[in-house]
């Protein structure tokens, strides 16, 4: 695994992003070859705790070695568009790994 992509959903929980991001960031500091990206459907994503996060709106090129993490959020927001769910499904079908934190599992379920 070399690239870790966090899919940010509106009303995301900061802890669900920050905890896993800290792990991969620290591992990269210790020499592991991790690159972290943040993607979302909108450039700015409001967290439920009031902090706005910035993300890219275009997906990086992914290989089966890459990981997509979907952090949890506070409802009732629709988790993601059909296009975003399709990307999750295609990454998994190509042998890539997808993971959800808390409500992020809901998006993975919707993706199939």
Separation CA 68–CA 52 (nearest Å): 21
What local confidence, expressed as pLDDT, does residue 25 receive?
Answer: 96
79 contacts 87 by C-beta, under 8 angstroms: no
What local confidence, expressed as pLDDT, does residue 80 receive?
Answer: 86
Higher pLDDT: 39 or 106? It is 39
Looking at the structure of the chain, the number of domains it has is: 1
DSSP 3-state of 97 = strand
Please work out, in degrees rounded to the nearest 5, the angle formed at the alpha carbon of residue 72 by the alpha carbons of 66 and 76: 135
* Contacts of 74 by beta carbon, 8 Å cutoff, 6+ apart: 11, 13, 48, 103
Containing domain of residue 39, as a range? 3-111
pTM for this structure?
0.94
Read off the CATH number of the domain in which 74 is found: 3.40.50.880
* Contacts of 105 by beta carbon, 8 Å cutoff, 6+ apart: 70
What local confidence, expressed as pLDDT, does residue 77 receive?
Answer: 65
DSSP 3-state of 8 = coil
Count how many Cα atoms sit within 13 Å of the Cα of residue 96 in the half-sphere of its side chain.
22
Q: pLDDT tens digits for 48-99?
A: 999 999 999 999 999 999 999 999 999 876 778 889 999 999 999 999 999 9
Separation CA 40–CA 57 (nearest Å): 5
Q: pLDDT tens digits for 7-52?
A: 999 999 999 999 999 999 999 999 998 999 999 999 999 999 999 9
33 contacts 65 by C-beta, under 8 angstroms: no
């Amino acid at each position: 695994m070399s690239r870790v992509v966090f899919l940010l959903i509106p009303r995301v929980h900061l802890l669900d992003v920050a905890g896993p991001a800290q792990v991969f960031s620290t591992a990269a500091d210790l020499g592991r070859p991790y690159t972290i990206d943040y993607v979302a459907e909108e450039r700015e994503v409001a967290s439920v705790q009031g902090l706005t996060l910035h993300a890219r709106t275009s997906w990086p090129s992914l290989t089966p070695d890459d990981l997509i993490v979907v952090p949890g959020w506070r409802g009732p927001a629709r988790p993601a568009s059909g296009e975003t769910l399709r990307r999750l499904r295609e990454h998994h079908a190509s042998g890539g790994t997808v993971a959800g934190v808390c409500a992020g599992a809901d998006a993975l379920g919707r993706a199939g």
